[in-house]
Amino acid sequence: MNRTVRRSLVVLISALALLAPSVAASAAADSKAAVLSNWTQTTAASTAAWNEARLDRAPWASYGFDWTTDYCSSSPDNPLGFNFTNACWHHDFGYRNYKDLGTFSANKARVDNVFYADLKRKCATYHAAVRPACLSLAWTYYQAVSIFGSLEAVNPSDIDRAESLIE
């Protein structure tokens, strides 16, 4: 092999070696975005996939997901005994990870809709006699995150109003 070909080959391989980390980082970000999108759809299957991953995070460690949560923030996690903890965790997961990717504003409405779908699915598991109160609270929690971006906007009077539906 002549010297010019060898030199060109070395330059080409060096250039590829320099570009490879940025290509790999971009592919990882795209993969993280794709997985995040799959886990933040309004379907029960999407929520089930997220929950399965939440319970077994090891296979997803390389994605660098933020699994932290404050559940329903300063609002009750179990208002009137309705367990909203997983729905709030799923919502926190979407908010935190889309913010990390820098695509929060483009995905906020969908994550809020996922939250509402999760809450309604949870309410469907309760007896028909108390379901209206649960759905009323689900709507209130959804409106708080949809309008204000936080569950801190839920007033105790909203919970009292839902409680009156049970009596």
CB proximity list for 71: less than 8 A, separation 6 or greater: 77, 84, 85, 88, 89, 92
Contact (Cβ atoms closer than 8 angstroms) between residue 113 and residue 42:
yes
Contact (Cβ atoms closer than 8 angstroms) between residue 97 and residue 68:
no
Contact (Cβ atoms closer than 8 angstroms) between residue 139 and residue 151:
no
Q: Count of alpha carbons within 13 Å of 32, Cβ hemisphere only?
A: 22
Q: Which of 75, 76, 84, 91 is catalytic?
A: 91
DSSP label at 73? T
Helix (H, G, I), strand (E, B) or coil at 77: coil
Q: Is 91 a catalytic residue?
A: yes
| Catalytic residue annotation | 91
